[in-house]
């Protein structure tokens, strides 16, 4: 008979047990550069989505959007149709979910063969390097693909608010995709047609417990998102999200009523490499827990994705092969690399 797995302990339990960050739980080769490195805090450019959609003022705002994406790969969106009090409510409900007893959260645990549901990096091997977080991953769109058995029933209004949030975000995706197309002098629906009117959206609710050894752990390892774009609702107070600009990590601050939008690999492919899917990471905080929601807006699975034809001509070669989005993640670690022509 197979050996039973070693007892799994969550990162949160390790901390609350007062354990030190042990070798095997942590980067011991100096890869976490948060100690000793002065990290600058900067506010990323603010884009008014209302202006993007209104013709007299769109040109200026489109120019700002294009510059923000070139410099950062991300921007803060305001005037996005969600009130500050609604966003506070979403944050509050998420905080309440993660504060529930482990027993309750485990009711929504992701099954072994699926990412969806509640989970975290289980401590299963000595070599494993953990991300210092707990998370809840849910498909929120299309609606008929939701797996409601892993959707929390507590706090009570969680499901209803997430539903409302997903409807609002869907509208934002439409506005932003049209604006990005226009900012590249493409026909307005060029990207929206590729990814599909409805798209597929995954919400990842993140809880990053405080950690006394910032020099040893990441809340989330450096990565680029495989999405078309990702809409992040950051913690209202606690910083932690950093973007790589050139060779410098910069800690981004956002205004409370804004959501942070970064583009992902699919946008890099569709823009034929003109726009870059930015590397980013989350560092932990020594004294405060941090929460965030990242919603990955992705193409409909059966859609074929490739560089926009309008960007290819005699002087500009096609940089990426076409791919069906359902196959994208099977390409490996940074799938986009495998698509280079």
Only one residue has tokens 């932003």, namely 176
232 interface partner picked from Ni ion, ligand OGA, none, CB below 5 to 8 A per type = ligand OGA
Site size toward ligand OGA (CB under 6 A) is: 11
Residues that bind Ni ion (CB under 5 A): 225
Q: Residue 190: in which H helix or E strand, if any?
A: helix 190-195
Across the chain, where does the E strand assignment appear?
A: 40-43, 46-48, 74-78, 117-120, 134-141, 200-208, 220-223, 229-233, 241-245, 248-253, 259-263, 280-282, 290-298, 304-305, 323-324
Cα separation, 201 vs 141, whole angstroms: 5
Query: Which of residues 204, 217, 228, 270 is near ligand OGA by CB under 6 A?
Result: 204
Residue 137 makes contact with ligand OGA by CB under 6 A = no
CB of 190 to Ni ion, least distance (A): 25
Q: Binding string to ligand OGA for residues 282 to 321, with x set by CB under 6 A, is what?
A: x---------x-x---------------------------
User: For strand 74-78 and strand 46-48, is the pairing parallel, antiparallel, or unpaired?
Assistant: parallel
**Closer by beta carbon to ligand OGA, 190 or else 297:** 297
- Residue 208 CB, shortest distance to Ni ion, in Å, is 13
Of 215 and 225, nearer to ligand OGA (C-beta) is 225
CB of 336 to Ni ion, least distance (A): 14
How buried is residue 174: exposed, middle or buried, by Cβ count under 10 Å (0-12/13-18/19+)? Answer: middle
Report residue 34 as tokens: 């948060």
Interface with ligand OGA (CB under 6 A): 204, 206, 220, 225, 232, 234, 241, 280, 282, 292, 294
């Amino acid at each position: 008979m197979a050996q039973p797995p070693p007892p799994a302990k969550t990162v949160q339990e390790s901390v609350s047990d007062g354990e030190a960050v042990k070798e095997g739980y942590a980067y011991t080769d100096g890869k976490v550069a948060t100690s000793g490195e002065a990290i600058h805090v900067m506010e990323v450019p603010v884009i008014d989505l209302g202006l993007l959609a209104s013709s007299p003022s769109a040109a200026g705002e489109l120019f700002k959007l294009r510059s923000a994406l070139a410099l950062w790969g991300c921007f803060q969106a305001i005037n996005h149709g969600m009130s500050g009090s609604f966003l506070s409510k979403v944050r509050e409900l998420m905080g309440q979910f993660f504060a529930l007893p482990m027993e309750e959260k485990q009711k929504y645990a992701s099954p072994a063969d699926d990412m969806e549901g509640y989970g975290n990096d289980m401590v299963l091997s000595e070599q494993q390097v953990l991300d210092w977080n707990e998370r809840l991953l849910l498909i929120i769109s299309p609606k008929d693909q939701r797996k409601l058995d892993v959707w929390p029933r507590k706090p009570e209004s969680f499901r209803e608010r997430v539903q409302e949030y997903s409807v609002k975000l869907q509208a934002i995706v439409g506005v932003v995709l049209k604006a990005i197309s226009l900012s590249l002098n493409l026909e307005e629906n060029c990207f929206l047609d590729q990814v599909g009117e409805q798209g597929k959206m995954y919400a990842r609710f993140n809880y990053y417990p405080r950690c006394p050894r910032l020099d040893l752990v990441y809340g989330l390892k450096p990565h680029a998102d495989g999405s078309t774009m990702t809409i992040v609702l950051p913690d209202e107070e606690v910083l932690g999200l950093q973007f790589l600009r050139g060779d410098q990590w910069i800690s981004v601050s956002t205004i409370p009523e804004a959501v942070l939008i970064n583009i992902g690999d699919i946008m890099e492919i569709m823009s034929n490499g003109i726009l870059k899917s930015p590397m980013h990471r989350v560092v932990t905080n020594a004294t405060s827990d941090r929460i965030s929601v990242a919603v990955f807006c992705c193409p409909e699975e059966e859609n074929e994705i490739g560089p926009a034809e309008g960007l290819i001509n005699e002087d500009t070669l096609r940089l990426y092969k076409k791919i069906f989005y359902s196959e994208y993640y099977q390409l490996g670690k940074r799938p986009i690399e495998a698509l280079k022509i």
